[in-house]
A and B are shown apart, each in its own frame.
Chain A
């Protein structure tokens, strides 16, 4: 960090603090099941150190993340350390963390439970729900939203009140087929044309990802990992209010796995001066 210049006028005449660093995308669970740090830019990714050697699911924001590994659900703090562990015994939970720790939520399909973080520990909430849950997120202080694929491949959005687990609303996602995911205020879903990105105002843009067996996992606040097991392909979606970009995710490097997983630092909180 260095003082490099002084600005004057309306702004106070003081040194400008500047720091240059490697741009971090976030944490991504690659096809080999390991969770890696991902650096770089859109279409210019560099896979970094391996943080977890084997995970069944992962979801990261810029402030932390959730990792499911070997029946354990771990809450990862901003510094990359494990803040809490919950033994959920699930094979493949559905995770989401799109902000701070309070946004952490997991759907445990085997137990039909929602798992939320109350600031000190995880709390399990039974929910009477049928269908395949594709995505889950905290929708407010007292509700969660789940995208559920019905037996006819249609997708419904289910609202569940917290902490009692009562389903308060079910609404269909028009046109969606098989899978849906919410990234910030955008709705992602697959239809016959490809992967649709629907803005809050209803406008849509179709991405040329035609596979229907898509899985979404959050890499960072603005980045989503999209994968297709059938096509053996992975994409990275960079999506926020000003950017919509999709590029391909590199395979994990052959020599990347370390002998021991090691904690990694999370991407900085935007605006945090250094």
Chain B
């Protein structure tokens, strides 16, 4: 739509001298100019429009109420918008009323119309007058792009002023207007098409178009085969609703009224998001759940109200939700009857399992609303858990690090946990399995913006203990609003490990102490060889079975499979002095330990 500031033709002043009109430039680039008795619009292509902004002030010393401003003829070509009904103009130009006049030719050639105003003066006695303001004229030129619409079997030119009025449509139904575009030029045109809300308080739009997002391609000279798209009016609420259809540079009003045909149409449906904002959805617009990060969810609380003005209770046989990631919760028992003046509520959640766009639908009886949501990914790169070894055994202090595939774009704090599951029967835990940095199984890791690894207390290599119990350790890395990453390591059952052995002769005993671990908790049988001071065997394969001792120990210890066993071998006749060393093996359910030796 073009805004034109015209060179004006001045003629006689207003017949009634009570009002003064000026042409106003909303951009502020041109000073207001008085409106003469005639005013010309520039030439406008058929189907296009030109606009002038006018201001009217009261020049008398008494208040004036403007009742209406209108064109007396050719009202499909000339139109007035923006006026308030019964607007009061204060005396002496203290305020003004601003309105617009449009010229939107429907045919080629000149055309004119008189702008008139009806107002009421309150000077002395109240008196209503209707006076001409100015005669507006313009010339329609051949259109480059002609738009028509078909609705209900009727086809009409699509005018900037009147647009498309879908009239009354059931809130359970839809009406479709087909827009046809004819290109009168010799070159193909790509015309962007969109629909915008006119209600800033409710972004839901009752109109939807199937026009391609990239625009409608209109071939040259296509009068015989117009390019077409549709505009659908699908009201979700009763009452008048409007929007704006934008075709190229022209805006066309879309008007429709949701009405009650069946009882269910009367239901007032609304939802509240997590911030408390209430929205009345329109069936034409999908209900958006926003962009929860994958692994999290967004929830909307729906309320379905049967207005107290309804005559009948409305019975809903079903309320259902379709679409991956969408779930209804807290539904009433079905069928649900909603008496006039009452309502029901339920929650619909959207929990994307991955990133991407998800769609679904919510059916409340025969009332159907689209659902949409986007699974977003936290803007930190994909993380992985990296170990400094692949061969895990008991009694280790390996390192784990959190590595990112690329530098993180944000600073984030995550949690790294380890969960130990014993594979030894009747053994629930091993307290030695832990992160050294916290002496626990959880620590917070921080990834700085630009970093490719996370740290704890400045360390990227995080040490943990594998303990001395066979089992699995599950590591889980979680960042807020991001899918957890897990990795499991296995500590396999192993033969007894004797880590230290000492031998002391305390006549008449030979005292042997062995320290180590049995990650199966099943040891007990031991075999000893004693040697003299020259290394000659003096007693071989002496079996000692301490199974019951170990079982009692393992049933009460809180130190995992680690143990220290002390054995006192009695001797006689001062034999301890002739014993030089001892070797031993220990057996468990896996096998026999390596031979360990100690000198007395």
Contacts and interface: CB of A to CB of B under 8 A. Distances in A.
A249 B465 CA distance: 10
Given A11-B530, A41-B499, A243-B500, A274 B566 contact: yes
B568 A4 contact: no
B563 A21 contact: yes
B510 A251 contact: no
Contacts of A247: 397
A128 interface: no
Interface in B439-460: 439-440, 457-458
B513 A42 contact: no
Contacts of A256: 439
Contact of A16 (B458, B468, B544, B579): B544
A271 B511 CA distance: 6
A44 B467 contact: yes
A253 B440 CA distance: 7
Interface size class of B (residues with CB under 8 A): 35 or more
A5 B568 CA distance: 11
A251 B432 contact: no
Contact of A12 (B436, B502, B508, B538): B508
Interface string B558-584: 111011111111111101001100000
A10 interface: yes
A245 B463 CA distance: 16
Contacts of B431: 46
A1 B276 CA distance: 70
B438 A254 contact: yes
B432 A40 contact: yes
A2 interface: yes
Contacts of B504: 270-271
A45 B436 CA distance: 9
Interface string A262-274: 0000001011111
B513 A271 contact: yes
Nearest to B398: A43
Interface stretch (B28-36, B265-273, B549-557): B549-557
A4 B457 CA distance: 51
Interface in A243-259: 243, 247-254, 256
Nearest to A253: B439
A167 to B, nearest CB: 38
Contact of B562 (A17, A41, A252): A41
Contact of A11 (B397, B432, B570): B570
B439 to A, nearest CB: 4
A249 B438 CA distance: 11
Contact of B499 (A42, A252, A254, A268): A42
B482 interface: no
A268 B511 CA distance: 13
Contact of B569 (A16, A22, A47, A271): A16
B567 A250 contact: no
Contacts of B559: 22-23, 39-40, 46
B396 interface: yes
B437 interface: yes
A23 B563 contact: yes
A243 B539 CA distance: 27
B284 to A, nearest CB: 57
B549 A11 contact: no
A130 interface: no
A248 to B, nearest CB: 5
B558 A46 contact: yes
Contact of A41 (B517, B546, B548, B569): B517
Contacts of A274: 566
B542 interface: yes
Contacts of A204: none
Nearest to A5: B544
Nearest to B443: A251
A52 to B, nearest CB: 18
A23 B467 CA distance: 14
12 contacts: A4-B546, A7-B539, A10-B530, A11-B510, A11-B569, A17-B567, A20-B564, A43-B395, A46-B562, A252-B439, A272-B566, A274-B566
Interface of B: 394-397, 431-432, 434, 436-440, 457-458, 463, 465-468, 499-500, 502, 504, 506, 508-511, 513, 515-517, 528, 530, 538-539, 542-546, 548-550, 552-553, 557-560, 562-573, 575, 578-579
Given A7-B569, A21-B553, A254-B438, 7 more contacts: A11-B579, A18-B546, A20-B565, A41-B468, A44-B560, A251-B437, A272-B566
